Amino acid sequence: MSDQTPRQLGQPQREVPRVRYARCGELRMYPLDERDLDDLARGSPAPLKLNLAIAFLTVFVSATTTLLTVTIASVRIFTIFVVIAVCTFLAGVILVSLWAQSRRSSKNLLSEIKGRMPPQAGIQEPLSGGTASPGTEP
């Protein structure tokens, strides 16, 4: 019935957001295959290993502190504390070393993906400062 627009009916008109682009020097796109996507989706087990290592080393410090500060009369309880201290220390050290290795493997994957980029072809410009190339006289 009426050909009036929402602006004419007194309703506020939605403004279209303004989009501004800042020029960047270069945009690089890296090709990925299915294996790369699977590796990235799987994620790194490094944080879990580090958290477990911290937990085991904390128990080790607690058991060692108990052994050094408390007089334990029972040989059985003393043995249990020693076994707990030794096992948690070994588990913590092993997990820290596994964490360090898995952290490097994530960096290796990123380096491999970035290494696929061919080197940038540059324009050869003469050196300034009057330097002559070898074998030529000025």
Query: Other C-beta atoms within 10 Å of 95: how many?
Result: 20
Q: What pLDDT score does 28 carry?
A: 76
pLDDT at residue 129 greater than cutoff 60: no
Task: Report domain extents, the chain.
Answer: 54-114
Per-residue pLDDT of 47-76, as tens digits, reads 889 999 999 999 999 999 999 999 989 999
Instruction: Indicate the residue type of 45.
Output: P
The CA distance from 17 to 11, in Å, is 18
Start-to-end CA span in the chain (Å): 88
Mean residue pLDDT of the chain comes to 79
* pTM score of the predicted model: 0.53
